[in-house]
Amino acid sequence: MEIHYRDLDHVEHWIARTQEGHYEVDGLAGVVGFPTYTLAAEASLGRVLAGSLGLQIAYPAVLAEKASTQWREHARSRAQEG
């Protein structure tokens, strides 16, 4: 079992942005990056241990349309930096 503690305001912000088809990639040491839509995925698949979130989250079609293009652009910019 894995437990993640997240700032709920931060999670709700990125869930809203994800629903609009937007995300960012936060850089991590030694890793390409952590996409902020992961927060929406965690919230939709995770189990609340105490209290309730009241969130109904589905993977937005607009994100599916935009993400592949944005990832290609991200990879190109990272390759140019390297």
> Any idea which residue has 């700032």 for tokens?
7
pLDDT of 1 above 60: no
d(C-alpha 24, C-alpha 34), whole Å: 8
Contacts of 69 (CB under 8 A, 6+ apart): none
d(C-alpha 13, C-alpha 40), whole Å: 10
Mean pLDDT along residues 1-18? 82
Q: What is the pLDDT of residues 19-76, one digit of tens each?
A: 888 888 887 666 667 888 888 888 777 777 777 777 677 778 888 888 888 888 878 8
pLDDT of 17 reads 92
Tell me the longest C-alpha to C-alpha distance in the chain.
46
User: Cβ(66)–Cβ(74) under 8 Å?
Assistant: no
